[in-house]
Amino acid sequence: MIALTFQARDGRTTDATAQPGETLLRVGQRVGQPLEGTCGGQMACATCHVLIDPHYLDHLPAPSVEEEDMLDLVPDATRSSRLACQIVVTEHLRNMIVRLP
């Protein structure tokens, strides 16, 4: 299991564990985070927008053109913005903090 932490806008944190290969969206939903994932993880919305700890960005594949297009629709997107449905949990993400915008 891989330990992760979700941090709400107000600073409260929720610890989670994930199996390698699970998406960040599914992990967050399982531990009660407000990640809608309206499209069911098909990258047709941006309701699972999260902010990735910058120290972990290099451990993720670059966002696809489709993901970047969806993030363009997010008014508060930053350089560390990603769609949780597109982040597959690996050992490299152990102890990562995922902020909810």
pLDDT at 94 (0 to 100): 97
Listed by start position, the domains of the chain span 2-99
Nearest-angstrom CA–CA distance, 56 and 58: 5
Under CATH, what is the fold of the domain 2-99?
Ubiquitin-like (UB roll) (3.10.20)
Q: Residue ranges of the alpha helices (H) in 1-101?
A: 24-30, 65-71
The beta strand positions in 32-80, using DSSP E, are 49-52
pLDDT at 41 (0 to 100): 86
The residue type found at 75 is P
| pLDDT, mean of each 10-residue run, the chain (101 residues) | 96 97 97 92 92 94 95 94 97 97 92
pLDDT at 88 (0 to 100): 97
pLDDT at 20 (0 to 100): 97
Q: Which residue has the tokens 């913005």?
A: 81
Nearest-angstrom CA–CA distance, 61 and 39: 21
- The H or E element containing residue 2 is strand 2-7
pLDDT at 40 (0 to 100): 87
